[in-house]
Amino acid sequence: MPYAAAPAEGLAPAMLRERGAWMRGVIESGGGIAPEEFPIWQTELVHLQRFMQLTDLNTLLGAWEAWTRAFERAEGTLHWGTSNWVDSTLFATADAFMDRLDAPEEARATVDLMRAYNLRDWTLAAASANRLVGPVGSGEEWMSVRVLLDLAVIANLEVGRITEARNALEVLVPLTGRETWNVRNRLLDALVTQAENEGSG
């Protein structure tokens, strides 16, 4: 029978943590082949390798938005399951690439947001997220709307910027493709509402 994940609640995050651990191990050892039942792991490794090769060039192939989305995918795969850590090679390569090619502010904000979130630097995370909410809300594809929504709300609440958290919620929720009654949307709204109530109390 073809492989399929067991229909167990909460299994996907556990599998992603295992994939991240495998990815980091492969990079440290200099290579590897994914387990036969997880071909997607090999696909993500190839994507990371290709991204690093393209980011080592002196020219941008395609649009900056496509590059940041590729960065988001590589970063997410590599860092899943970690806390207070960033892969120095990935971020150093991305920073150098953006410096060489004078990257737009939105590209830098995307990289800074993911770095700041991983390191729990909420001040930088909030500033970077707020730089992206407007452009992404207008249809520019710098990063996943759902990821930006989560990080913008969380980071702004962490630094007491409640108005910005509410703005991110109102701008981005309609673009997530989720119904307004979606549990995740309601949870984010509840967090912002609680902060608003506490601030006015």
Question: For residue range 61-94, what is the model confidence (pLDDT) as tens digits?
Answer: 999 999 999 999 999 888 776 778 888 889 999 9
Q: Token pair of 98, please?
A: 């953006």
pLDDT of residue 4: 54
In the predicted model, what is the mean pLDDT of the chain?
88
Residue 142, domain extent: 104-201
Q: Both 129 and 194 in a single domain?
A: yes
pLDDT tens by residue, 145-173: 999 999 999 999 999 999 999 999 999 99
Q: Both 65 and 111 in a single domain?
A: no
Q: How many CB atoms lie within 10 A of CB 82?
A: 14
The total domain count for the chain is 2
Answer yes or no: is 96 within a domain: no
Q: Model pTM?
A: 0.86
Q: Both 127 and 81 in a single domain?
A: no
Q: 41, 56, 85: which is the final residue of a domain?
A: 85
pLDDT of residue 188: 95
Q: Both 116 and 160 in a single domain?
A: yes
pLDDT of residue 9: 47
- With cut-offs at 50, 70 and 90, classify the pLDDT of residue 1: very low
Give residues with Cβ within 8 angstroms of 111, minimum separation 6: 68, 71, 91, 94, 95, 98
Q: 24, 50, 85: which is the final residue of a domain?
A: 85
